[in-house]
Structure 1
Amino acid sequence: MILGKSLLAAWLAGTIGVAPAQVPSQQVNGVTLITGDRVVVAGQGHRIEPGPGRQVGFSSQVRGGHLYVIPSDAAPLLAQGVLDRRLFDVTQLLAWGYGDADTPDIPVIEQGITTSLGSAQVRRLSSLGMNAARVSKANTARTWRTLTGARTLVAGRSKLWLDGRRSFSLDESVKQIGAPQAWQQGFTGKGVTVAVLDSGYDPDHPDLKGAVTHEGKFSNEPDMRDNVGHGTHVASIVAGRGEKYRGVAPEASLAIGKVGEGNGLTESEGIAGMEWAAIEVKAKIVSMSWGGPDGPELDPLEQAVNTLSEQTGTLFVAAAGNDGIEASVLSPGSAEAALTVGAVDKQGRMAHFSSQGPRVSDHAIKPDVTAPGVDIMAAAVGGGYRSMSGTSMATPHVAGAAAILAQRHPDWTGAQLKSALIGGAAPVQDATLYQQGAGTIDLVRALRQQVVPKQANVWAAFPWNGTGGRTATRTITYANAADTPVTLGLSADSEVLKLPSDHVTVPAKGEASVTLTIDADGKAPGDYPGTVTARSGETVIRTLAGAYVEPESYDVTVTVVGRQGLPVDPREGEIYDAETGAVHALSFQNGTATVRLPEGDWNLYTSIREKIDGQPVLTIADSPLKVDGSDQRLTVDTRQGKPTKTTIDDPSAQLQRVSSLGLDHGAWGVWSRMFGLDANSQVFVIPAASPGLTYTLATTWLSKDLSPSPYVYTLVDRRSGGLPDDPTYHARRKELAKVTATYRASGAAATGSPQVSLRVGDSMVEFPVSSVGDIALPGTLIHYRTPGLVFSSELQVGTALTSDGGKLMKRGHTSEVWNAAVTGPSFLLPAGHRTGDSLAFAATAMFADGQPGRTGSDTAATGTATLAEDGRVLATAGLADCDVHEPQSCELRADLPAGSGAYTLTTSMRRQATLSTEVKSVWTFPSTTTAERQPLPLMAVRYSPEGLDDSNRAELGSTTRVPVWVERNPGATKAETKSIRLEMSADDGATWRPVPVTRTGSGWTALLTNPRTAGFISLRAAVTDTAGNQVTQTITRAYAVG
């Protein structure tokens, strides 16, 4: 069970020595990695489930709010640059709909991989030598074995990418960039093809009639029709034929490439559309009003833009994005060859949402230009018009302008068009270069000017060098299409830009070059953006230019020496910043790796696996590193490692495995851990003091003489302050927490699998620490655990899973019961909410056992969920394969009418089981439109019958005392229970009779008289609270009588 940070509000009286822990305020999600390992996330907590047979370590890192979980055998490949780090970005995988509840596959792009990965090819991306494919999550183990085989991935030649997703980011606006003046000169884009890669188009819209000459479909939808309105709007901005709302280039031809659906597109769909537009259609301009987060490395979309621009001369115009913050320009707009567009409003001011530079990879200036993008009126699906805002709207303005310019200069390449539009742009007042680029495009000026720079952006990035030498030269070449020479006055507006002269003369029909010196000697680290401006009369040409100076940085070389005194490559190696969370992976060759680091305090982490005399040996090192003033060479010598050792003063017990070895730096959320090292593994740690670092070693012990073992020791050595000088832990049984766990059967005897995890750190990360395999039910198992720590437990019985909320272990003896009746709905975890006028409900916790602080599900149960208002059904969902760890696996979603209403939510689930064969809940509650996410005021009636035997049976004719309590959906508006009515049935609900209920403390007590013949008792309860919320809950065959 994975827990987050909101306190369990109604924990019923537990036994002595066990205190309630915290429970999650958010739902649970799971995702399978390309390695076959699985990560389960709840709120800020997560748990890792290694793939079958995988004895590997894991490093968890939080960067920029994203959780990365990196298996140790993937770390070297990431360091070599042959794996896309996004394959391990759990946050992004879930956000893109690649979680296990959303898709059975992992979409990937294979670059330079000739070995079959067992994946299903989706499409060939010929221009890049790539394949888009889907790897079945059921086959990830096979795929990973192939990937890690000999020379499948070769640094510099091959790479496996995640096929990530990208999202779709006219009257006054057309005038704003000077389009009508261009039309008056006869330039309307005629004869020029502009490809619009978007969500399709409305072929029946009158403004697009006769405009579309080519169609290409690269999405999974059945036709070209635009189902979201984005593509139609964008296409009409480029070349709409309407009288009132005319596009920028109203006589240009449109090639519409449908590259996505309503929720965006995959990267491979985008690339396929680019290839079609540039190679097959031979479009002069491609408009792309979509994008996704950019990273420091060249991604497939950026590669496609750069490669196709060079090969075909096509100009790719891309949206900057709508994040409105620094360093947020999206890919593919981040590509060097792209003409990247920010947005201004109708008054020419920067739009607050327009994404800004610098570019992530090298701090260069992006976006390149701006265009109108606020309240743009253009074509809507269905024949009308609508107003939309975003850099998605600004981009087609520039694409249309480029089409007009291409008509004026049909022999110009895309690069020349780009340079002309940048060169002729007008600066935006009160905006930085990283916000506006060269400024807002001025089509009148671009058409008029006869001199164009061949380079649109010249930039230099300088590494730190204490001795100086931070200078570079760049050439700016001006081409003159006029019949007379032109003398340009030159100026630069940045302190790092030096011109050799204040003028240059460009001959008629010729070119002239200027050598620009970028001199950052003596400059402090940082960004130095600027422009070079060339003027002659009304001719004003701007070229973006500048420099980035790296912070004071030095090379750190790490050498790892194995236990036999020879260099070895570690399984994992990275240097991380314990303050900021920055992580630099180390790529080792022959035991040595070098990385460049800014000055400051870092930690060096390595894990080294070796075999000595045929036995596996693991050595862990994590020590502080100060980078200051010079390059460094460090050695990690595994021979300095101290052996870990755990003992217990019980001679009948023997070590089964080192179940977890972990390091966590809770200050910013880095965890590294190893799972499932067997008893023969030798584990060493290299002692080092490190503030903020906590060391954890968990071992599992069972009886060496009895099978199955009547007990299990879970012994955890957890220490703060670094890796200990003496990693020895001597446990004494009398000082441990002792938990006697009774595991009941539900009818016929069966088997169950108990699992125990250790929760560590403020972010509720879990280490699996104990698994004894299957035990017979009913049965008893004594757990001995290290006190002072929080352990969470689960029990898997066939397809049913029950989990608890985690318990803080205290010295002394306690007991607990698992798989106890009555199994039914639980609200230990949040299950439903309304945001605005959208409702979501997850029917996953319908089968929790009858103990406080439990949640549970049964993936074999099936049923339905229905939402109605005043008898009118709003939504229905089928329920199957419901997993408490996967809320989306059984989710009902509905759009609600705005305002207030009274709603009825009904769920009914059946399963093939002895007890709780059908569970039905009918909730009635008021709800109103809300700006914030508001949990639904749902209730669950919970029962814990006393006196049942270990098969959940009451004696014939006996009276059963049943504690009753009501659980509420966490976070819902508080209300008190106003009334409760309980009924019982001995004939599976054919007839019912009332049961007396008495208030006792915070709950109630019911007394049930059982029949004198064998059978089952069903329960039906009706509850109303003081806010008017109601629930009627029916559990068929709640417990047995016999």
Structure 2
Amino acid sequence: MSRKLRTLLSLFVLAVTALVAGPSPAAAAAPDDEKWITLVTGDRVLLRPDAPRGQDVVVRPARGREHVRFRSYTDHGDTYVVPSDAAGRDHELFNLTKTGGERRAAATATAVETFDVTVRVLDHNGRPTSTWSAVFNSLDAEQSFSPHDPSGTVVAKLPRGSYHLQAQVQTGPLTTHIVEPLFVVDGDRTLDLVATEGKPVGITLDRPEAVGGEVALIFERYTPDGRFVGQGHHAVNFDNTLVRPSTTAAPPGQFTFYVAGRFAKPDGEGGFAGSPYLYHLQWVQSDRVPEDLVRRIPDENLAIVNSTFAASAPGKVGQKDYLVSAPLPFSLKEYYIPDTHWLSSFGQFDGAVGDTPEIITYSGPKVFTAGTVSDESWGVAAFGPSLPPSWPWSWTKAVRSGDTLDFEIPLFTDQNPIREARSAVDRASTILYRDGRVVGHTALPGKGTFTVPQGEATYHLTTTARRSGVSDLSAEVRASWTFKSSTGEQRLPLAVVRFAPDLDEYNRAASGPFSFPVHVQRQDGSATSAVRRLSVEISYDDGRLWRPVHLEGAGDRWTATVVHPRSGYASLRATLVDASGNRAGLTILRAYRIR
């Protein structure tokens, strides 16, 4: 995966989180301060092995990185804490057991020559200030230094070498970002961080009324040995944000500056309800932070996507990318900067848009070509289990690590094959069997973590979820898998059957003769084999009577042909057996409507 892709995925993987200011650099140390470990990204981690699960790892993001999410796990006795914007990097950089973090860095620093770097900070009024931060990330070793003094002047003792400097100076709502991709320490020197040297940053469009609803600055910096030491800044818009052009430049390929954002028509009430368009834009500068920090991106340079959002129940409101909302169904014209990987999301709400959607659907990365016009649909049934291609921060999984089987399989994804979705449910259960005996169960839809004995065995996983108020479609989803697994690291050989009928904006199919695609989707990297047998059945009375469906095709691609009644619902049931004996079963009650 390219560094560009990693950055843009970090920028636009969307979650319902609040931007929370980090602790002041001058804040008093916590009682366990000496036990905190500093990651190569500047974030700090406290391991609490005696605390309950879920509370045993505490993370303090570095200043300006409050948006970053962290994943912790244990592998062969070593503990790892990996930031989301470091996905794809060597995870050994985040092995807390081996590196010893900040303490090891400090020990290394004492063995080399150090120099005095005097840091002087002036705010946006030209006065010394206490509201500032600076981090010197070494480009030569896994260590960083964060000097601070509330007077606005501090002398930092830095080992001889090269650094990536990232700093911020705040005055009320104003923030100036100062980044130097190559700050060399080869003697005593003085560094002035002057907030008034910052310049406005942003993007201008053909539509002057469009404003930012989510923006980001990414200062992407990699060390010569491949470590990520950059930073990101996320906000609603570019107001009150300044950036100082850098006075140094990194060697080619080691630094990239991104300015990106989503823009739409404001609704006059602080949001973007009813906006007819949504822009997804960015511009990029290599090697340094440039002088020209506001750039125009005309519509003629973009790709156009005509997006439609289907209704799965009356009275619902949809929201694209946590920004543009409207009663369902609705349509939206989207503009994308080309040749860039973009993640997207679609949320469904019951009435007013709030913090937590009833259904949230995420799409894997897509790339668009300048000058093209394409169509994209969201929220189209049948909603069922999916195993989309993996992307950073995708949560879909069915894996084994040692003697632990870990599942999180989305059960209510629309028919697009690169998506995953979560839905509110009334009731749910997930049960794992080993050689016919129950290993464990949860009250969660498609989700559970189970400890199993060593050795090979045949496993059977079942999951059921029911929902009512969210939608009358996929009112109940039942799925099951039978597979073999033995001790080790593996992606389990699971597959799902997906249905993609041609439906209108209210998820209705035509009555009478009707054909629709059926395909088999397999988990990336798993040892599934060719389809040996696939059968599909349909019911028009909520599963009381099932009728066989005529299938034509082979392998993973099939076409189903049925004859619909004049109205009602169609329920679907499928059974899949592969050449290795792995099995998958699926039942979706009320998969779609018939008009």
- Could you say which TM-score interval applies, normalised by the shorter chain? 0.7 to 0.9
Equivalent position SS for 1:602: strand
Picking from 370, 374, 377, the partner of 1:814 is: 374
Q: Structure 1 pair 165/978, CA: closer, same or farther in 2 (3 Å)?
A: closer
1:211-222, aligned counterparts within 5 Å? none
Find out whether 1:717 has 2:283 as its counterpart.
Answer: yes
Matched residue, 1:52:
18
How many angstroms does 1:697 deviate by?
A: 1.7
Q: Is the 8 A contact 1:580 1:668 kept in 2?
A: no
Give structure 2 stretches of 5+ with no counterpart.
Answer: 61-71, 81-94, 349-356, 391-395
Distance in 2 (alpha carbons) for counterparts of 1:878 and 1:586: 48
Picking from 632, 641, 659, the partner of 2:215 is: 659
How many angstroms does 1:961 deviate by?
A: 2.6
Q: Structure 1 pair 1031/704, CA: closer, same or farther in 2 (3 Å)?
A: closer
Equivalent position SS for 1:856: strand
Q: Is the 8 A contact 2:432 2:441 kept in 1?
A: no
Picking from 1030, 1033, 1039, the partner of 2:583 is: 1030
How many angstroms does 1:1020 deviate by?
A: 0.6
How many angstroms does 1:891 deviate by?
A: 0.8
Matched residue, 1:9:
none
Matched residue, 2:27:
77
Matched residue, 1:868:
433
Picking from 418, 438, 458, the partner of 1:853 is: 418
Q: Is the 8 A contact 2:214 2:262 kept in 1?
A: yes
1:622-661, aligned counterparts within 5 Å? 622-623=179-180, 624-628=182-186, 630-651=187-208, 653-657=209-213, 659-661=215-217
TM-score, normalising length: structure 2: 0.79
Q: Structure 1 pair 827/861, CA: closer, same or farther in 2 (3 Å)?
A: farther
Matched residue, 1:518:
none
Distance in 1 (alpha carbons) for counterparts of 2:28 and 2:306: 45
Amino acid in structure 1 at the alignment position of 2:183? L
Equivalent position SS for 1:1005: strand
Find out whether 1:832 has 2:392 as its counterpart.
Answer: no
Matched residue, 2:177:
620
How many angstroms does 1:865 deviate by?
A: 2.1
Distance in 2 (alpha carbons) for counterparts of 1:660 and 1:589: 28
Q: Is the 8 A contact 1:578 1:665 kept in 2?
A: no
Matched residue, 1:906:
462
How many angstroms does 1:1038 deviate by?
A: 0.7
Matched residue, 2:443:
879
Find out whether 1:942 has 2:498 as its counterpart.
Answer: yes
How many angstroms does 1:976 deviate by?
A: 1.1
How many angstroms does 1:989 deviate by?
A: 0.7
1:571-970, aligned counterparts within 5 Å? 571-611=132-172, 616-623=173-180, 624-628=182-186, 630-651=187-208, 653-657=209-213, 659-666=215-222, 667-678=226-237, 680-691=239-250, 692-703=254-265, 708-755=274-321, 771-797=322-348, 798-811=357-370, 812-828=372-388, 831-836=397-402, 838-870=403-435, 872-880=436-444, 890-896=447-453, 898-912=454-468, 913-927=471-485, 929-930=486-487, 932-946=488-502, 948-955=503-510, 957-970=511-524
How many angstroms does 1:327 deviate by?
A: 8.2
How many angstroms does 1:866 deviate by?
A: 2.3
Matched residue, 2:64:
none
Q: Is the 8 A contact 2:307 2:333 kept in 1?
A: yes
Distance in 2 (alpha carbons) for counterparts of 1:292 and 1:839: 16
| Larger mean Cα displacement after TM superposition, 935-944 or 678-687 | 678-687
Matched residue, 2:549:
995
Q: Is the 8 A contact 2:134 2:146 kept in 1?
A: yes
1:236-275, aligned counterparts within 5 Å? none
Matched residue, 1:118:
none
Q: Structure 1 pair 690/734, CA: closer, same or farther in 2 (3 Å)?
A: same
RMSD: 3.9
The Cα offsets for residues 355-398 of structure 1, whole Å up to 9 and x where unpaired, read as xxxx85986xxxxxxxxxxxxxxxxxxxxxxxxxxxxxxxxxxx
Distance in 2 (alpha carbons) for counterparts of 1:906 and 1:1027: 19
1:196-235, aligned counterparts within 5 Å? none
Equivalent position SS for 1:774: strand
Distance in 1 (alpha carbons) for counterparts of 2:318 and 2:37: 34
Matched residue, 1:190:
none
Amino acid in structure 2 at the alignment position of 1:560? V
The Cα offsets for residues 28-53 of structure 1, whole Å up to 9 and x where unpaired, read as xxxxxxxxxxxxxx9x9996858536
Amino acid in structure 2 at the alignment position of 1:733? D
Q: Structure 1 pair 994/719, CA: closer, same or farther in 2 (3 Å)?
A: same
How many angstroms does 1:810 deviate by?
A: 2.2
Q: Structure 1 pair 292/791, CA: closer, same or farther in 2 (3 Å)?
A: closer
Amino acid in structure 2 at the alignment position of 1:661? L
Q: Is the 8 A contact 2:138 2:162 kept in 1?
A: yes
How many angstroms does 1:774 deviate by?
A: 3.4
Give structure 1 stretches of 5+ with no counterpart.
Answer: 7-20, 23-41, 57-70, 109-136, 141-163, 170-290, 294-322, 331-358, 364-525, 527-547, 756-770
How many angstroms does 1:754 deviate by?
A: 2.1
Equivalent position SS for 1:906: strand
The Cα offsets for residues 66-100 of structure 1, whole Å up to 9 and x where unpaired, read as xxxxx4x454538999967849878967996989x
Q: Is the 8 A contact 2:387 2:409 kept in 1?
A: no
| Larger mean Cα displacement after TM superposition, 632-641 or 899-908 | 899-908
How many angstroms does 1:916 deviate by?
A: 0.8
Distance in 1 (alpha carbons) for counterparts of 2:79 and 2:577: 48
Q: Structure 1 pair 680/622, CA: closer, same or farther in 2 (3 Å)?
A: closer
Amino acid in structure 2 at the alignment position of 1:1041? I
How many angstroms does 1:582 deviate by?
A: 2.1
1:276-291, aligned counterparts within 5 Å? none
How many angstroms does 1:702 deviate by?
A: 2.0
Structure possessing the higher radius of gyration over alpha carbons:
1
| Larger mean Cα displacement after TM superposition, 1001-1010 or 740-749 | 1001-1010
Find out whether 1:1041 has 2:574 as its counterpart.
Answer: no
Amino acid in structure 2 at the alignment position of 1:796? G
Equivalent position SS for 1:639: helix
Matched residue, 1:401:
none
Q: Structure 1 pair 640/866, CA: closer, same or farther in 2 (3 Å)?
A: closer
Equivalent position SS for 2:27: helix
Q: Structure 1 pair 675/900, CA: closer, same or farther in 2 (3 Å)?
A: closer
How many angstroms does 1:844 deviate by?
A: 3.9
TM-score, normalising length: structure 1: 0.47
Q: Is the 8 A contact 1:749 1:778 kept in 2?
A: no
Q: Is the 8 A contact 2:528 2:578 kept in 1?
A: no
The Cα offsets for residues 592-614 of structure 1, whole Å up to 9 and x where unpaired, read as 22221110111221112224xxx
How many angstroms does 1:873 deviate by?
A: 1.9
Distance in 1 (alpha carbons) for counterparts of 2:105 and 2:293: 43
How many angstroms does 1:934 deviate by?
A: 1.8
Distance in 1 (alpha carbons) for counterparts of 2:368 and 2:25: 35
Amino acid in structure 1 at the alignment position of 2:412? F
Distance in 2 (alpha carbons) for counterparts of 1:91 and 1:638: 27
Q: Is the 8 A contact 1:560 1:591 kept in 2?
A: yes
Matched residue, 2:91:
none
Distance in 2 (alpha carbons) for counterparts of 1:842 and 1:992: 30
Distance in 2 (alpha carbons) for counterparts of 1:637 and 1:861: 56
Q: Structure 1 pair 993/47, CA: closer, same or farther in 2 (3 Å)?
A: closer
Amino acid in structure 2 at the alignment position of 1:942? R
Q: Is the 8 A contact 2:309 2:331 kept in 1?
A: yes
Amino acid in structure 2 at the alignment position of 1:875? V
The Cα offsets for residues 512-534 of structure 1, whole Å up to 9 and x where unpaired, read as xxxxxxxxxxxxxx8xxxxxxxx
